[in-house]
Amino acid sequence: MARRTAKQKKRALRWAIMVTFWTFLVAFVFALTMRFILHGIQSIIISFLLLLFIIFIGVLFDTIGTAVTAANETPFHSKASKKVYGAQKGIYLVRYADQVANFCNDMIGDISGVVSGVVGAVIIFNLVLARPELSEIYLSIILTAVVAALTVGGKALGKYLAISRPTEVVLLFAQVLTTIEKVSLRKKQNRY
């Protein structure tokens, strides 16, 4: 039993180091990309739509991460035996629920939260630049409250869905991943 525990600790440590590195890299690239995109966007409406999209991504991945931890592997084995599309990937997602949830909830969810803050700050800056009579302080307070409300409200709804229907949520995500893998594999094969 002690050997297994040591092996699990080593695996957990390796995962923590890897996810820390990838989180830094993804957050850096994502924030840099958003900065360049927002620098080129002059429309406040498009900036707000981008902000809503980033919030949606955070809520979506939080829902997936919660569903994976709430799901049971047994229904996916049953679906896989019936050749249900994506069921094999669903087994994998549920089997590695700790890592999938860490990626979805913490990595993507937290990055989305940070980037939505950056996008909100850029929106406020652009609003005040366009209309100097507006108060930067009040705008930042209002926008922060709106972003927080949409994020927390969306995650509450997502968690309800994820806990009440985890198999369906995981299967849908597994089907999307399976499709992406098939398309990527076809593109690689067509290159050679």
Digit-coded pLDDT (tens) for 11-41: 888 888 888 888 888 888 887 887 777 777 7
| Domains of the chain by residue range | 2-185
Angle at which helix 136-164 crosses helix 166-191, to 10 degrees, equals 100
Element at 110 (helix H, strand E): helix 109-130
Has residue 191 got a pLDDT over 60?
A: yes
Q: In this predicted structure, what is the pLDDT of residue 158?
A: 96
Whole-number average pLDDT of the chain: 88
Percent of the chain beyond pLDDT 70?
95
- Mean pLDDT to the nearest integer, 49-71: 95
* pLDDT tens by residue, 131-185: 888 888 888 899 999 999 999 999 999 999 999 999 999 999 999 999 999 988 7
Tokens 């005040």 — which residue?
A: 128
CA neighbor of 68 nearest in space, from 83, 89, 84: 89
More confident residue, 20 or 67: 67
More confident residue, 67 or 110: 67
